[in-house]
Amino acid sequence: MAITTLDQAIAGMQPHRWFFKAVSPSIPSGRPISPWTLGGIPGAGGVLTSLAGSILSAPQPGQLPFVNPSSGNSYLARFTGEAGIGGKYLLCDRLWHNGGFAAVTTPQTINSPTWPARDIDGATAGKGVFLGLEYNATGAANAPVITVSYNNSAGASGRVGVNAFATAASSPQCSFYPIGLQAGDLGVQSVQTLTFSLVPTANSCNLVAYRVIASLEITGSYVGSSIDLVTGGMPQIWNDSVLFPIFIPAQAAAVNLTGGYTVTQG
């Protein structure tokens, strides 16, 4: 069953869920932040020490609370946020993550498992699923190029992506570097290897497979913003989603992040 009327959407509204995170030290301008491993509300999420990693389903420590509907579907009804600086929030579903990278510059074999059925089509092919390298501790005093080999959402192998934004030396905890896709690709189905051009700090980072559900612009310091059923397009949130925010700062700063979301179910 799908929600097709405003009355159904109103009847299915669930409680608003909040997040509060303080990010310090300063994050370089324009480079995304993932507060997954920080304390606050919700509490810190965990990372793995396995290169193959693990698929994720709710509930998980660190995720924004989400409960599957007793029947029907879930849709994003409202997404709110403010921050100490301008920027943009992304509300994302975390499908998989790993860890345990060694301090080497040779390719490290991952061979990830099949994603959960939560790509843009509610399938396992990986359409709309992206990769990001997330720092769970301060990185080495260098700025490596990150190279990932992967299969795309059509199942083609031997695809190669590198970090979409330049990395920073001594990347602080919470730094999140999206991995670009090869031309024509619509998403990632699986990950085979990861290679650093410069030696990283061992176990300081992990790969994350994620899908962006919605975005929200923050125009200035502590200027709140929101989207709703109409302005957000009411995207569906699949059962067992592991929701978390990413913030893209407009300037370099330590920053307080506040926001939340509401779903309607039916």
Q: What would the DSSP string read from start to end of 177-242?
A: EEEPPPTT--BEEEEEEEEESS---TTSEEEEEEEEEEEEEE-STT--EEE-TTTT---EE-TT--
The token pair that represents 124 in the structure block: 């396992």
| Mean pLDDT of all residues in 98-119 | 97
Other beta carbons less than 10 A from residue 184's beta carbon:
9
Give the pLDDT confidence of 187-199 residue by residue, as tens digits. 999 999 999 999 9
Give the pLDDT confidence of 207-253 residue by residue, as tens digits. 999 999 999 999 999 999 999 999 999 999 999 999 999 999 999 98
φ/ψ of residue 114, rounded to 5: -65, 130
Q: What mean pLDDT is reported for the chain?
A: 96
What is the pairing mode between strands 87-97 and 146-152? unpaired
pLDDT of residue 73 exceeding 70, the answer is yes
pLDDT of residue 109 exceeding 80, the answer is yes
pLDDT of residue 27 exceeding 70, the answer is yes
Question: Per-residue confidence at 265, pLDDT binned at 50, 70, 90?
Answer: very high
Other beta carbons less than 10 A from residue 65's beta carbon:
15
| DSSP-based three-state secondary structure for 109 | strand
pLDDT at 262: 98
Please report the DSSP string for 24-79 in residue order.
Answer: EEEEPTT--B-GGGS-SBS-PPP--S-SS-EE--SS-TTSBP----SSS-EEEEEE
pLDDT cut 90: percent of the chain above it: 93
Q: How far apart, in Å, are the Cα atoms of 168 and each of 1, 44, 61, 76, 142?
A: 47, 24, 28, 34, 7
Q: Which of 171, 210, 225 is nearest to 60 (CA)?
A: 210
Measured CA to CA, the distance from residue 184 to residue 123 in angstroms comes to: 20
pLDDT of residue 74 exceeding 90, the answer is yes
Other beta carbons less than 10 A from residue 150's beta carbon:
29
Question: Per-residue confidence at 1, pLDDT binned at 50, 70, 90?
Answer: low
Question: Per-residue confidence at 171, pLDDT binned at 50, 70, 90?
Answer: very high
pLDDT of residue 130 exceeding 80, the answer is yes
Measured CA to CA, the distance from residue 137 to residue 53 in angstroms comes to: 18
